[in-house]
Structure 1
Amino acid sequence: MSKLARSTIGLMIVTLLAKILGFSRELVLASVYGTSAYSDAYLIALNIPVVIFATIGGALATTFIPLYFESNNIDGDTRSLKFANNVFNIVMIISIIVALLGIVFTKPLVKLFAVGFRGNTLKTAIDFTRILIPGIIFIGFSNIMTSYLQIKNNFTIPGLISVPYNIIIIISMLVSIKYGPYTMVWGTLIGMISKFLFQVPFAYRNGYKYEAHISLKDEYLRKMVWLVGPVFIGIAVNQINAMIDRTLASVLPEGSISALNYANKLNQFIMAFFITSIAAVIYPMLSKLSSENNKEKFVGTVVKSINSIIILVMPVSVGAIVLATPVVKFLFQRGAFNITATKMTSIALVFYSIGLIGYGLRDILGRVFYSLKDTKTPMINGAMAMIMNIILNLILVKFMGHAGLAFATSISALICIFLLFNSLKKKIGYFGQDKILKTTLKSLASAIVMGIITFFTYKFLIKVLGLSFITEAIALFGSVFIGALVYGILVIILKVEEVNMIIDMINRKLKRKSYIKEKSS
């Protein structure tokens, strides 16, 4: 098994654990607060520090990786560690300043993110935000530690940081039933801090040593500043899109923000399990291959990564559209989450799922450009997609309500990947376009057939088994299993290259085990 495959599968396993806990957190929130004013206020308050500093921290972390490799290749370990500490200390200063400004200007900040909030909902959101704003500092620290560990080929620990984070929040949500919703918010702040603290000992084991060093004259820092602006804008585009969605949703009926959030979390679960895992592993590899000017391996890695995303995400996208209502009902409909909430969330899930392949490929293609030290192209294409998203938001929200916001996000994501593919062709010429197109068409055809069979299988099972929680669960999982089986058979029949590679890899491992057993006997 290749190093890329081993690292990706390992990260997928730990990500699955972390995301199951993250999804459990959403289930607990839905059960305790449903689609209420408290859940809307909490989600806005939680989103603000993420938008503010995840954008800054994400931009710094993205440009940090290729420049660390450049520094290490040219000047060695001591110099690259000095560069890492320089970045860490500058992030510390920036994040403290941003947090203090956030505490002072909390009210206008909340109004910017939720223009439709009034009265008690607005007051609650302001109080919640004021508690969570200091979390900005630890989001910044955590981003740098994650990048450092990924550089050192340690993907497991960054993948696990959400485990203590989600456990702490889940406990605080359950405790808040007795002691009030503010308990949940304080628990969330502690969870943010835990993400950074969890990584520190492992960073030290991988050679990190903290030094109180700041130098604005560092040549690699200057390069980073030159690169970070476009990356910041590119990442901010995604956050602005989310902010605009929530802002427009805040003027819609109560619970619209929560419905969009729960639907989006379902898609993010898939994104994190497949897409984020692959993207996290390939980015340091692409950065290294780019710095070594190894174009053949670079293109090969790009093709494998893109096709892997297409093969994995295409059936999930179609499946989520077909089974949106039963999935939402099974996962969320209990406690304060009623039938109305299920309808609102499932319709949002359908329209978010249309663009699932777009979200995934946008993430991968962005990293391809960043590894080439081209930060402007993703920024320009992302800005164009953002403008399209805003226009579509304003049009579709009038006719489709919160579902229109989800649909606009999907359309803009699909437009963005077409723009990025075109830009990549201009940038490096051939990048395996023919192979990617073949895989896309084969996967799409297989997924459509799978979707039709899955839909009728679910309807048949429900008709035979009847309506109850257990029988609906059997029907849901049964139809998902049949659908997955159909898709797997079809992509094998159609000879999708990456699938054949996986089968060959499994056969080699089975033959190796068989050989070892024969030898030992």
Structure 2
Amino acid sequence: MQDKKIIKSSFIIIILIVLGKIMAFIRDALIASKFGATYVTDIYMFSLGTVMLLTTIGYGLTTTLIPMHTENIENKSQEEKNIFVSNILNTVGISTIVFVIIGIIIAPYIIYIFAPGFRENLEVYNSSVYILRIMFTSLFFVFIQSIVTGVLQAHKEFYAPAAMAFVSNIIFVIYLIFLSNKFGMNGFAIATVMGFAAQFLINVPRFKALGYKYVFVINFKDKNLIRLVKLMLPVIISTSIIQINLFISRYFATTAYEGAVSALDFSNKLNMLIYEVFAVAISMVIYPTLSIFATQRNNKEYKNALLRGVNVILLIMVPASIGVLILREPIVSLIFGRGAFDEKAVKLTANALMFYTPAMVAYGVRDILYKAFYSLQDTKIPMINSFIGICINIILSLILVNSMQVSGLTLASAISAVATTLILIIILNNKLNGINIRYLLKVFVKITSSSLIMGFIIINIRNVCFTQIGVNFKGDIISIILCFIIGVFVYFICIHILKVEEYMYMLELVKKRLGKNKS
């Protein structure tokens, strides 16, 4: 019965996440159509990126609050829980208000230092400062929502948090369809703040239903609050590496050409789609399993679970990255290629996406490895690894931006991601006295070989579609659908022939499930 509940809950959560992603793509397509790859979009993307970088503080808050509050749920009264949560809400709320005010004051300096391309045009500079100031106010809702979300997840309440992206994207889409022509990008910045506020508000009813009541208590010296902050810091640094690297890339992109930041962000969103849907979900599932085996000191099962998690990531992400690499131009054209987002913008975004694709695989594997270190209560190595990745990205961006422009920035990010992932594998292999890297390489070679055969097939299908139908909307959609169906079929035949163990394992589980249903 418990397994059925878990399966049902997981299924509903996946649906909510996918719905959020669909609405996000509608939002991005509307942004591209309404504003194109221009300085207007660049300003919004940079401002949103600055806020998203700071939201990693909220993620660290949620991540560290969950295990702490789980202990409270088991051992403390409702009154004690109310005081604990209210103190965090109040202290974080006050700190955030001060932080937002400082951000609004120094916004001109942030633009001047981190978006040097914007300061060359006074109108662009002033507009970027104004929008960044509006966007800073959303951080209040982000941080308060992070606390409420952490409390809900500690109680194993996942539906409202999973629906947050869907709700906020509905607000964005409504604005872009009905109000963007009248109020432009300034109005969209306000709509973005409203979207973050909506993410907080949808969690409140369930939060109150769990018996929580607001208590006016402020104690910055509370030992639990201090413990929370100490635990947060390495997690924030480790988990912010993707946003920091993207922020660095945006810095260099502002000096390239008009629309460079937009091309960078649109390509990144496409690159992150499969990672966010599949890899994040897999790492969430594998984390408690690794934690249990680590607590039990069951080294053999720990390594088996770790290898299985990494190989499942590879099984999904490697063919997906090759498919996106081959079909990048029709995908970009189909999703964004309309209105102000012209053919030039499509090509710039597609070229940037080409060099991003290796990062898709690296991000997925790195997530599993980070969870492995966290399960061993080691937060320092992921933090140091993050610093190494940032340094590699900065150095390569400086070298490649002049010759390759935005494509050089995405290549720098990809190389940084791959390098830091390989470093983590080596360190973890030494830490665990061997994780069977030879087996990992064997599976990787099988999966890559199958993916390359699939890639060869879909290249030919794509070329035939473009020759027979033309490079247009109809040709894009037919080529993507045919390539996906035939590509998946070819890939599964190849991994079946090569007997990739994780695939065979999942196949057996499906067969057993079907056998039970028949009986």
Query: Normalization by structure 1: what TM-score?
Result: 0.91
Rounded Cα–Cα distance in structure 1 between residues aligned with 2:77 and 2:442: 43
Deviates more, 1:257-266 or 1:193-202: 193-202
Partner residue, 1:11: 13
- Cα pair distance change 1:405/1:188, threshold 3 Å: same
**How far is 1:512 from its partner?**
2.8
User: Shift of the alpha carbon at 1:296?
Assistant: 5.6
1:105 alignment partner, SS class: helix
Instruction: Name structure 2 gaps, 5 residues minimum.
Output: none
Distance 1:467-1:106 versus aligned 2 partners, 3 A rule: closer
Task: Decide which of 383, 388, 391 is 1:387's aligned counterpart.
Answer: 391
Question: What does residue 245 of structure 1 align with?
Answer: 249
- Residues of 2 paired with 1:485 and 1:214: CA distance? 59
Quote the offset at 1:413 in angstroms: 0.2
Distance 1:365 1:77 in 2: 36
How far did 1:223 drift? 3.4
What pairs with 1:47-446 in structure 2 (closer than 5 Å)? 47-52=49-54, 54-69=55-70, 83-117=84-118, 118-174=121-177, 175-206=179-210, 208-283=212-287, 286-287=290-291, 290=294, 298-431=302-435, 433-446=437-450
**Structure 1 residues 484, 200: CA separation in 2 closer, same or farther (over 3 Å shift)?**
same
CA distance in 1 between counterparts of 2:65 and 2:366 reads 20
Give the CA deviation at 1:235: 3.4
Does structure 1 conserve the Cα–Cα contact (< 8 Å) formed by 2:25 and 2:335?
no
- Mapped partners of 2:508, 2:33: distance in 1: 45
Distance 1:489 1:202, change over 3 A: farther
Native 8 Å contact 1:18 1:163 kept in 2:
yes
Give the whole-Å Cα distance in 1 for the aligned partners of 2:453 and 2:36: 35
Asked if structure 1 preserves the Cα contact closer than 8 Å seen for 2:318 and 2:451, the reply is yes
Label 1:501 to 1:207 Cα distance change in 2 as closer, same or farther (>3 A). Answer: farther
Q: CA deviation at 1:261?
A: 0.7
Q: Which amino acid aligns with 2:132?
A: T
Instruction: Go from structure 1 to structure 2 and tell me whether the alpha carbon gap of 1:258 and 1:294 turns closer, same or farther (over 3 Å shift).
Output: same
Measured in 1, the distance between the counterparts of 2:496 and 2:395 equals 41
Relative to structure 1, the CA distance from residue 313 to residue 299 in structure 2 (aligned partners, 3 Å threshold; closer, same or farther) is same
* d(CA) in 1 for partners of 2:211, 2:507: 38
Q: How many residues align?
A: 514
- CA positional deviation for 1:507: 2.3
Does the CA-based 8 Å contact 1:91-1:141 persist in structure 2?
A: yes
**What is the letter of the counterpart of residue 114 of structure 1?**
A
Moved more, 330-339 or 364-373: 364-373
Distance 1:89 1:430 in 2: 47
Query: Which of residues 44, 47, 53 in structure 2 aligns to 1:45?
Result: 47
Letter in 1 for 2:242: N
RMSD: 2.6
Q: Secondary structure at the match of 1:122?
A: helix
Partner of 1:486: 490
Deviation, 1:31, is 0.5
Cα 1:206–1:280, aligned 2, differ >3 Å: closer, same or farther? farther
Shift, 1:244, TM fit: 1.3
Change (3 A) 1:415 1:295: same
Is the 1:23–1:269 Cα contact (8 Å) retained in structure 2? no
Deviation at 1:57, TM superposition (A): 1.7
Partners in 2 of 1:294 and 1:152 — Cα distance?
Answer: 28
Q: Is the 8 A contact 1:55 1:232 kept in 2?
A: yes
Per-residue CA deviations over 1:86-128 (Å, capped at 9, x if unaligned) read: 4333322222221111122221122233111032111111111
Per the TM alignment, residue 219 of structure 1 is displaced from its structure 2 partner at its CA by 4.3
CA contact (8 A) 2:253 2:261 kept: yes
**Shift in Å, 1:83:** 4.3
The alpha-carbon distance between structure 1 residues 173 and 459, as it changes in their structure 2 partners (threshold 3 A), is same
Letter in 1 for 2:360: L
Give the C-alpha shift of residue 149 in structure 1: 2.9
Distance 2:72 2:325 in 1: 46
| Separation in structure 2 between the aligned mates of residue 3 and residue 439 of structure 1, nearest angstrom | 33
Corresponding position of 1:35: 37
Post-superposition shift, 1:132? 1.4
Equivalent residues of 1:263, 1:345 under 8 A apart: yes
1:225 positional shift: 3.1
**Partners of 1:330 and 1:91 in 2: how far apart?**
43
Q: State whether residues 4 and 282 of structure 1, in contact with CA within 8 Å, keep that contact through their aligned partners in structure 2.
A: no
Between the aligned partners of 1:291 and 1:144, the Cα distance in structure 2 is 27
Deviation at 1:148, TM superposition (A): 2.9
**Displacement, 1:77?**
7.8
Matched residue of 2:365: which SS?
helix
Say if 2:459 is the partner of 1:455: yes
Q: What SS class does the counterpart of residue 448 from structure 1 fall into?
A: helix
Range with bigger deviation, 56-65 or 403-412: 56-65
- CA 1:433–1:314: 2 relative to 1, 3 Å: same
For residues 33 and 430 of structure 2, the distance between their equivalents in structure 1, rounded to whole angstroms, comes to: 50
Greater displacement, 57-66 / 33-42? 57-66
Shift of 1:491: 1.6
3-state SS in 1 of match to 2:378: coil
Measured at CA, do residues 67 and 423 of structure 1 come closer, stay the same or move farther in structure 2, by a change above 3 Å? farther
Length-normalised TM-score, structure 2: 0.91
Counterpart AA for 2:26: S
1:262 CA displacement: 0.6
Query: Do 1:173 and 1:181's aligned partners in 2 also have CA atoms closer than 8 Å?
Result: no
The whole-number CA distance in structure 2 between the counterparts of 1:296 and 1:71 is 32
Q: Pick closer, same or farther for the CA change 1:10–1:251 going to 2, 3 Å.
A: same
* Percent of matched pairs sharing the same residue: 33
- Distance of 2:294 and 2:152 partners within structure 1: 20
Structure 1 distance, partners of 2:72, 2:464, is 61
Deviations 1:248-285 (A, max 9, x none): 10011100000011100101211221122223444455
Secondary structure in structure 1 of the residue aligned to 2:318: helix
For structure 1, the residue ranges without an aligned partner over 5 or more in a row are 516-521
CA distance in 1, matches of 2:282, 2:211: 25
Shift of 1:488: 1.5
Q: Which moved more, 1:399-408 or 1:124-133?
A: 124-133
